[in-house]
Structure 1
Amino acid sequence: IAASGYAGKGPNANIAVALGGIVACGVVYILIGAIVQAVGTGWIERFMPPVVTGAVVAVIGLNLASVPVKNMAAGNFDAWMQAVTFLCVGLVAVFTRGMLQRLLILVGLILATLVYAALTNGLGMGKPVDLSGIANAAWFGLPTFTAPVFTANAMLLIAPVAIILVAENLGHLKAVTAMTGRNLDPYMGRAFIGDGIATVVSGAAGGTGVTTYAENIGVMAATRIYSTAVFVVAAVIALVLGFSPKFGALIQAIPLPVMGGVSIVVFGLIAIAGAKIWVDNKVDFSQNRNLIVAAITLIVGTGDFTLKFGDFALGGIGCATFGAIILYALLGRSKN
């Protein structure tokens, strides 16, 4: 934004310029998807074999681990409540059957919230659950729309993010493939195009850039529900509920440590999906090439190793993804 020349012209102007960059990023993303759809995914497979994709998928979960562990537990009580939460989810996952087991994340979250409320509101052991926001919130509300402003500098700064989104989305598709046992490569171009269109629509209306949501992949792994019809229905429900401030207040009323405990489960399941790619494809870690690529990728991604190129920063997942691809290519001549 500062490079665009709009800095200092007010928050609305800055947001509009950022939105222009988001739309440009979406357009680039669509073009990449169209190329993949036209020429196929073979060239991607050569650059990202199972040892690379498994590491990238695992890194997505591991990179997110610090969010619940470091940012969603303010003290010792909150940390214990996170433990109670993932214990509740684990008990539901193992000892229930049928619909309860399918809804293990939701059921575990509700159980943990009840325990939290009993300990805080009842016994005064922590920050009590506050439901006043739900009572005061309106049932229906409209979002604020902001039109994008297109400037060359902002678009050049934000558009390259599409490359990172491609790598991340590829990892997500590989994770779903590992879970379902179904080859999703033929749909990769369509997935990129869909992501790009969603980003363009969101940016044009005043929203943030969007991409596939890794947390949902963890929920798929836990529930073993992969039906696209379920996700279409869920998307429609989410859109409708998005117009209800009261529902937003309900989500905000969920205790942060409880959300942190659920996040630990979900992010962990993503990391395990990466390991499953290695197991299913029988990746040979006695080969030093595979060992080095996986080892460096995991640490770079988990530690959120970041490289900066002027005003552009490539974070942990991006560095891990490109690092894995480059390392695998550079070490390709090794026989060990």
Structure 2
Amino acid sequence: MALGTRWIEYLLPPVVTGAIVMTIGLNLAPVAVSSVKDSSFDAAMALVTILCVGLAAVLTRGMLQRLLILTGLVASYAIYALVTNGLGWGAPIDFSAIGAADWLGVPAFTAPSFSPHAIVLIAPVAIILVAENLGHIKAVGAMTGRDLDPYIGRAFVGDGLATVVSGASGGTGVTTYAENIGVMAVTRVYSTLIFVAAAGFAILLGFSPRFGALIQTIPGPVLAGTSIVVFGLIAVAGARIWIQNGVDLGDNVNLIVAAVTLVLGAGNFSIDFGGFTLDGIGTATFGAIILHLVLRRGAGRWQDVAG
């Protein structure tokens, strides 16, 4: 917040941020696809879910269209229940856990403990969260057509405070969620007030084990189909950054940076540092930044020599 955003613009030009955002969606894609690849029935139901979300996007209007992910999920949930619990195809939904769960309950909280070894292993995760947060902000900026760079400092502070609160109660480091960005892309609802209200409801529902049990009944294929749509929207948001900023992929520097970043992320190229692993999103993010700096500087020097 004190230094401004010029350094971010230098380190993360549109070709880099677009590649990072696209990488997030491509890196998450195997998670959704792998959960249904071993069952033809599950794969078919995932495709039905995708169709339900797509139909909700183009055939509904008003509130239903703005809630198209939820609309498609509810419709596919009902179809899944009909063909499994009703017709006996596939694994039926078990509703017994809902009745056995209490309406109200307190989550399990854990007081923090401090271990130098654990701190050394976990603290670098914050760097990855910063990179993910930055990519998410760029994605939202591309979708809304607004320059959100002046708010990056606030976003980092918010991430830091949220991680402190989470760690103080036994949770993990937290960051912005790419899945929500995908929902924003398809609904075109960008109001921050909506997310404040959603956070309030999420906190309240967190004290209801019965609601948690209801969520647990959502079939895996339905979640997989929804995830495929959402993760795909994230990848498209990265391409939108390139298009809106006129990124020239005929420039070899841009071409190599984009190509390498996408493969590192989509292939989940990981690097181990002792007990710490930098996964595909992390390696793609840092790889894109470093590769762009090296190639751009090298190209500049070559032009100077040639001139």
TM-score interval, smaller chain: over 0.9
Structure 2 CA distance for aligned equivalents of residues 311 and 252 of structure 1: 32
What one-letter code is carried by the residue in structure 2 that aligns with 1:110?
V
Structure 1 CA distance for aligned equivalents of residues 48 and 119 of structure 2: 45
Question: Shift of the alpha carbon at 1:41?
Answer: 1.2
What one-letter code is carried by the residue in structure 1 that aligns with 2:79?
V
The answer on 1:212 being equivalent to 2:176 is: yes
Task: Report the aligned-residue RMSD.
Answer: 1.1
The answer on 1:188 being equivalent to 2:152 is: yes
The answer on 1:308 being equivalent to 2:272 is: yes
Match in the other structure for 1:51: 15
Residues 83-127 of structure 1: per-residue CA shift (max 9 Å, x gap): 000110001101111111001000100110111111111111100
In the superposition, the TM-score normalised over structure 1's length comes to 0.88
The answer on 1:230 being equivalent to 2:194 is: yes
3-state SS in 1 of match to 2:113: coil
| Aligned residues of 1:73 and 1:257 also touching (Cα < 8 A) | no
Once the two structures are aligned, what percentage of the paired residues are identical?
66
Number of aligned positions between the proteins: 300
Match in the other structure for 2:288: 324
Residues 204-239 of structure 1: per-residue CA shift (max 9 Å, x gap): 111222111110000111111000111100000000
- What are structure 1's unaligned runs of at least 5 residues? 1-36
Match in the other structure for 2:128: 164
3-state SS in 2 of match to 1:334: helix
Structure 2 CA distance for aligned equivalents of residues 79 and 224 of structure 1: 29
Structure 2 CA distance for aligned equivalents of residues 61 and 316 of structure 1: 11
Structure 2 CA distance for aligned equivalents of residues 156 and 72 of structure 1: 37
3-state SS in 1 of match to 2:248: coil
The answer on 1:106 being equivalent to 2:70 is: yes
| Aligned residues of 1:59 and 1:271 also touching (Cα < 8 A) | yes
Structure 1 CA distance for aligned equivalents of residues 37 and 217 of structure 2: 16
3-state SS in 1 of match to 2:242: helix
Structure 2 CA distance for aligned equivalents of residues 131 and 69 of structure 1: 25
| Aligned residues of 2:129 and 2:175 also touching (Cα < 8 A) | yes
Single out whichever of 249-258 and 69-78 deviates more from structure 2.
69-78
The answer on 1:199 being equivalent to 2:163 is: yes
Match in the other structure for 1:257: 221
| Aligned residues of 1:73 and 1:256 also touching (Cα < 8 A) | no
Structure 1 CA distance for aligned equivalents of residues 36 and 154 of structure 2: 35
Match in the other structure for 2:250: 286
Question: Shift of the alpha carbon at 1:73?
Answer: 5.0
| Aligned residues of 2:139 and 2:237 also touching (Cα < 8 A) | yes
The answer on 1:141 being equivalent to 2:105 is: yes
Question: Shift of the alpha carbon at 1:72?
Answer: 4.4
